[in-house]
Amino acid sequence: MLADRRQLTYRELAKVPVRDNGEALVPMKADPSAPITTTELRSPWIRSGALARLVRAAQSVRQLSPRYALQVMDAHRLLSVQTAAFEKYTKIFGEKHPHLKGDDLSEYVHQHVAVPTVAGHPTGGAVDVTIVEDGTPIDMGHTYADFESPQYPTFAEGLTETQRHNRMHLREAMVRAGFAPFNGEWWHFSYGDPEWAALWGEPAALYKQLEKPA
């Protein structure tokens, strides 16, 4: 998994069955004892099983340096927000590429904004994370969510040795804690969603999309 460079398609993820295990969305908040920090989250929730694994990842990060912590920039995302973004870009890309229709258009849009039915963030199982040193993000060779730069994929060209090592430190901590990496974004990892199930060879995803905590 650490060396796996696949980026799964919408069609592949759509084939993954979902059998929600009923885990609750719980608060995603800073926890110095873990150690976990957060930025201001739009929807401060995460599934309980994903949080337990995030704590393990954070403990692994702390073992690299006592000055390190795992910072969460995004966790649960409202399904309505994901849907609105997907619909927006479907319209934009549909006008730019009128030859794309149906699933072909969805597949293209999915490379930029995940199709809501297979998206990880609305399940509460996906997180966007980085490593911070004394509160400052370490050098990953790219600013989080800057899609104008070509270096946001995990294995982008042009990274320095330090930047590659930093990305791999993050990846190793998350993967060993049970998360699946999304190679299209160095910061995105998930547990329990279709991406996780497909990459780990599980028979079904554990989490469905949820609009808000029960």
Query: 106 and 127 share a domain?
Result: no
The pLDDT assigned to 42 comes to 92
Task: Tell me the β-bridge partners of 72.
Answer: 38, 129
Express each pLDDT in 1-14 by its tens digit: 898 999 999 999 99
- Nearest alpha-carbon partner for 55 in 142, 173, 155: 173
* pLDDT band, residue 88 (cuts 50/70/90): very high
Structure tokens at 12: 């592949």
What is the pTM (predicted TM-score) of this model? Answer: 0.94
What's the angle, vertex CA 188, arms to CA 15 and CA 129, rounded to 5?
Answer: 150
Query: 114 and 157 share a domain?
Result: no
Which domain does 152 fall in, by range? Answer: 10-76+123-200
Query: 93 and 176 share a domain?
Result: no
